[in-house]
Amino acid sequence: MRLIDYLDKGASLGGDAPCLTTEGRTLSYAEVQRHSHRVARALSRDRIAPGEHVAVLSGNDPIAFATVFAISRAACVWCPINPRNEAAENGFVLDAFDCVALFFEAKFAALVDGLRAALPRLRLLVCLDAEQPFAPALEGWLAGVSNAPFHADTVSDLAMLPGTGGTTGQPKGVMLSHRNLETMTALTLMGYPFVGRPVYLAMAPLTHAAGVLALPILCHGGEIVIMAHPDIGDFLRLAERHRVTHSFLPPTLIYMLLDHPDLPATDLSALQCFWYGAAPISAARLEEALTRIGPVMAQLFGQTEAPMMISMMAPEDHFDTTGAVARHRLSSAGRPGPLVQVAILDGEGREHPRGGHGEIVVRSSLVMDGYYKNPAATAEATIDGWHRTGDIGYLDEDNFLFIVDRAKDMIITGGFNVYSAEVEQALMTHPAVQDAAVFGLPDEKWGERVCAAVQLRAGQATDAAAIIAHVKAMIGSVKTPKTVEICVDLPRSKVGKVLKKDIRARHLVELAAASGTRT
């Protein structure tokens, strides 16, 4: 299955069915197909050849997402460009990933204009919604182009080339094949409920998780409701109006949803599967979601290199055999998927027995083909045929995977290993705490000391001493933060993950300055 095949599969179930909807406008499957034929034909006319890399820079927009399928129909490789990136990072990605064409929204025209002189490989620029001095508008570019069926043969299995988050340096190009995406889609269809024609509400960017989660929706001829702007109130309104069956939000936005005053009055009874992932979730808030949103919460764990479905926790897995919430399981990432092998390796590359803590490694047709033009990084991410996730965790006796930390985030204090994720879970059980980041700082006595920064829930107030006492009563003094900073907000990545490295770096600068003052 190529990317375009998911659209064509959905269209085969009824071309007049709604495919992409936003702000009162709906494109049917047949309309999206016709768009994909026209754009693919125009790419071929302009000598954009099969196998070449074509980028899309856009917010959540139906025409932009429809153009992704046109890129696939032209047998080109889709390069999703994150609109939240800084200009320099987008310029690096477009150059390093060898992009020859770029479709972009008018609101990014100044950014593209500023970059294009330094990007000689870009032979084609097309603005999706308005003519620019340096680029035609999409409709003008397509003038006179037929929407008759168009087909191009693939020259490789490469489907898309997303970038890693860039949190540890420049982004790396992740080579995701059609086989990778087919495996991810198959795992999704195996592991989660799909009854009838699904309706997927996409508030998360289609350039990220929401985009590939649309593929199993298309397989069922479902509708994708696209939110142009992230807003929790609008999310609730659209979920009720469109009888949404599936959606995805990262934990931070789920917390905002739980705190939103419109939630109690919103009819979410059509929901079958509400995915959460991309960052650890508070077990206490997850239990609240199971009660207030419904028994529809569904976890997924993956990474760009093994998209979405390394492990999965279906809605029913959140409950035990009596129907009660399985509290002991809410901190897990679910079970490895049926097409995925997961092992836990020690520092010598040996496999741990059940319950042993070590690095999570993966074997599967889900795993990328490697990093684009970066064999050294590809080799570093591989050990004896396993893909190294960089996460530390363990498998319990029921084969549920627990992620206890990123390898680089583990704190060693007084000879004890402290996993920041465990401390963050304890912090977030405090009724005033919405989110938390735990990190280590140098300490003359202990080597490192455990420190935390927390963001409070709206309307809540507390102090550091009360939070420290709460955590100490839960997990003991060794793991309890020695200091807690209360923040208005925590710095986050473009996908909502708390940037612990930025918080720690700021504290290190402050420590150095204080030390300099004393001397």
Selected residue with higher pLDDT from 474 and 40: 40
pLDDT at 209 over 70: no
pLDDT at 518 over 70: no
All domains of the chain in start order, with CATH: 3-156 (3.40.50.980), 179-337 (3.40.50.980), 410-518 (3.30.300.30)
pLDDT at 517 over 60: no
From 114-128, 205-219, 247-261, the region with the lowest mean pLDDT: 205-219
Selected residue with higher pLDDT from 405 and 225: 225
pLDDT of 495 reads 65
Q: Dump pLDDT digits (tens) for 121-133.
A: 999 999 999 999 9
pTM given for the model: 0.85
- Whether the Cβ atoms of residue 421 and residue 251 lie closer than 8 Å to each other: no
Contacts of 330 (CB under 8 A, 6+ apart): 283, 286, 287, 318
Q: What is the Rg, in whole angstroms, of the alpha carbon atoms belonging to the chain? A: 24
Backbone angles phi, psi at 500, to 5 degrees: -60, -35
Cα 260–chain centre separation = 23
How does the average pLDDT of the chain come out, rounded?
Answer: 92
CB-CB neighbours of 282 under 10 Å: 24
Please, which pLDDT band fits residue 519 given cuts at 50, 70 and 90?
A: very low
H-run or E-run covering 418 = strand 416-418
Contacts of 340 (CB under 8 A, 6+ apart): 187, 306, 309, 310, 311, 362, 363, 364, 366
